[in-house]
A and B are shown apart, each in its own frame.
Chain A
Amino acid sequence: MIMNRRSLLTTALTLGAMKAFPGLSYAQARPLVFATFTGSWEEAHKAVLVPAFRKANADAAMVLDPMLSVDQIAKVNAAKANPPVDVMLHDPGPALVAIGQDLVEPYPVEKSAYYKDLIAEAQEPTGPAPFFQVVGLTYNPEAVKTPPTSWADLWKPEFKGRVGITNLNSTLGTGWLVEIAKMRGGSEANVDPGFKALEELKPNLAAVAANPGALATLFQQGQIDISPGNFNAIQILKARGVPVEFVAPKEGAIAFKTTIHIVKNSPNRELAFKLIEAALTPEVQTTLMNPPYLIVPTNSKVTMGGEIARVLAKDTAELKKKFVFQDWKKINEQRSAWIERFNREIKI
């Protein structure tokens, strides 16, 4: 045996010390870490937000560490005293979880130059919303000749075996179910009517995708012709030549606030604040609104243009009229029960 008790103890002590004082394992000053989302978000932030931040802050060092909301929460939770991430980006559901677990620092609203310019819905003292995500109807214009106008169109007999949805793991799936429930007299607290409607939708269902990304690719394969879909995801497909169109249903497009947060106990609090400020500026939001990103802005000083003005809203006033915001606090209370129910009831 090479391993004796003494060397085992030394190793254990070293490892223990590294665990107790994580600062030992890396240099004291680390660059600002922003956990954005993977995919198109990462691309957009790398190309626009990071350069804008660095220009405004004397080339301060920062890195993007893209990961899903749930992973961000898990990572910060695992090292609350010395979090590996300084700025988190969240969908409404996970944002409330992060706030509930005391992982975020309140946003220094009084210090912020842009906070007051945000649309009222985007002003969150726990972390403002620099962008909206919008969910509406997506369809293949080659197969669907008359553009759909309402969520109710998904139930039309002509779409037998042509409709795609996602399960409730995603914000999109859950938000859509709530909207369907509302259409039939339900609410965030009561989605029974939504499940009844899903039951009636079964003959039309061609696919229940595991996530919104998988749903989008089904258009490419001709597997589905119509589905609820994320505005940004559809624009990406469209840019690649896939025949897809997006419409906001007359009941209103579902808008999710994507909120950005300073992580509690972050060693880079000041820079984190600066990064969020950069994300709120009209300049960054305007660039991100234009192709190829087409991200819906939240700063009321941004003049809507291009595809967003054409399909969604020309200005803030119209945006408020056409967007539906949901009460995610209510939704989170019962979401696990709904997921369980969806698992059991939706088999096609």
Chain B
Amino acid sequence: MGAAPASRDVTSYGMGLAAPLALFFLLFFVAPLLQLLWLSLHNDTAGLHWGLGQYLHFLTDPFSLGVLGSTLLLGAEVTAVCLVLGFPIAWLYQRVGPRLQTIIILIVLLPLLTSVVVRTFAWIVILGRQGIINATLQSLGIIETPLKLLYTQFGVVLALAQVQMPLMTLPLITALGRIDPNLDDASCSLGAGSWRTFFRIVLPLSLPGVIAGCTLTYAAAITAFITQSLIGGGQMLFMPMYLYQQASTLQNWPFASAISIIFLLAVLAVVSVFTTLGRMSRGYGGA
């Protein structure tokens, strides 16, 4: 009778339960992705002539590379802003009473409960020439002519940071919650100041949360078509808009496919850097 349990390894799981989702992904994600790849390997819009022309066109064109670069940079800026602003909120959350915790969580989640379009339009109202910022500064006499905030890189970063903030804060709250509060006390009792405790104890232990938050925020920020085009306007070109222009307005699907594949690979590269950092930090945190 001992043979039956031995044949079934309790540490491995049957694939059966994952099959429906796997099939779904295979049909609606992997298959279209392969079709995209197939299409991108054609030199003409009708998809008759094979070749690497679309990739060559993109990779040898300083303008296209510039669009890719500015998109990746935009993501980095938004991620940095979210991290700097989101960390204190998560830190605060772990140090207040349950009632305040509920309020903080509500504030953090609130942006997720309204549509991105609505939030973005609110930013147009805030950043516009007669918007809240300019009106306040003018009434205080700090500036005379309205500042140009809308349709600038600054405006896009600001709006995206607000829109994507929950993606950063939530993993941070989880990560900080896992840290044993006794470690803080131990550090203090051994003579470390609060900054030293923060940099030597809290920050390293929260790194998995930081990495997770950064990955989510980054991926969401660079692909945020609506916010980028409404706040950035028609002359600030980022990858999603470039893609839309080629696919929709120009019906140049092979080039659009090549852009997608290149964008996908670039994002995967950035995400894998994050993941590598995450793996290293886990070793660090466990030590």
Contacts and interface: CB of A to CB of B under 8 A. Distances in A.
B239 to A, nearest CB: 12
B249 A169 contact: yes
Nearest to B229: A210
A217 B124 contact: yes
Interface in B222-250: 229-230, 232-235, 237, 241-242, 245, 248-250
Interface stretch (B14-22, B88-96, B204-212): B14-22
Interface in B143-164: 148, 150-151
Interface string A53-73: 000000000000000101101
A206 B245 CA distance: 22
A339 B234 CA distance: 11
Given A70-B251, A97-B251, A207 B245 contact: no
Contact of A221 (B131, B229, B248, B252): B131
A310 interface: no
Contact of A336 (B125, B131, B148, B252): B252
Interface in A1-56: 1-3, 11, 15
A222 B16 contact: no
A145 interface: no
A250 to B, nearest CB: 27
A347 interface: yes
Contacts of A68: 248
Given A208-B235, A344-B63, A2 B131 contact: no
A259 interface: no
Interface residues of A, number: 34
A222 B251 contact: no
Contacts of B23: 3, 11
Given A208-B235, A223-B128, A223-B129, A70 B14 contact: no
B276 interface: no
A168 B237 CA distance: 13
A343 interface: yes
B250 A335 contact: yes
A222 B129 contact: yes
A2 B19 contact: yes
A71 B244 CA distance: 12
A70 B249 contact: yes
Interface in B80-133: 121, 124-125, 128-131
A131 to B, nearest CB: 22
Given A335-B250, A344-B63, A221 B234 contact: no
B46 to A, nearest CB: 10
Contacts of A348: 151, 235
Interface in A151-192: 166-169, 173
Contacts of B63: 343-344
B250 A3 contact: no
A209 B235 CA distance: 8
Interface string A201-215: 000001111110010
A346 interface: yes
A166 B150 CA distance: 15
B248 A70 contact: yes
B235 A346 contact: yes
Contacts of A15: 27
B241 A221 contact: no
Given A343-B237, A346-B235, A221 B130 contact: yes
A78 B148 CA distance: 44
A208 B250 CA distance: 19
B229 A222 contact: no
A1 B235 contact: no
A208 B128 contact: no
B235 A347 contact: yes
B234 A3 contact: no
Contacts of B252: 336
Given A1-B14, A336-B250, A210 B129 contact: no
B248 A2 contact: no
A3 B150 contact: no
Contacts of A73: 251
Nearest to A3: B19
A346 B248 CA distance: 21
Contact of A207 (B131, B233, B249): B233
B234 A166 contact: yes
A210 B251 contact: no
26 contacts: A1-B15, A2-B14, A2-B19, A3-B15, A3-B19, A3-B23, A11-B23, A166-B234, A167-B234, A167-B235, A169-B234, A209-B234, A210-B232, A210-B234, A211-B229, A214-B229, A217-B121, A221-B131, A221-B150, A222-B130, A223-B150, A335-B250, A339-B245, A343-B63, A344-B63, A348-B151
Interface of B: 14-17, 19, 23, 27, 63, 121, 124-125, 128-131, 148, 150-151, 229-230, 232-235, 237, 241-242, 245, 248-252
Given A11-B23, A168-B249, 14 more contacts: A1-B14, A1-B15, A1-B16, A3-B16, A3-B19, A70-B249, A167-B234, A167-B235, A169-B249, A208-B151, A210-B229, A214-B230, A217-B124, A343-B242
Interface of A: 1-3, 11, 15, 68, 70-71, 73, 97, 166-169, 173, 206-211, 214, 217, 221-223, 335-336, 339, 343-344, 346-348
- 6 shortest A-B CB distances, which residue pairs? A167-B234, A2-B16, A221-B128, A222-B130, A208-B235, A208-B234
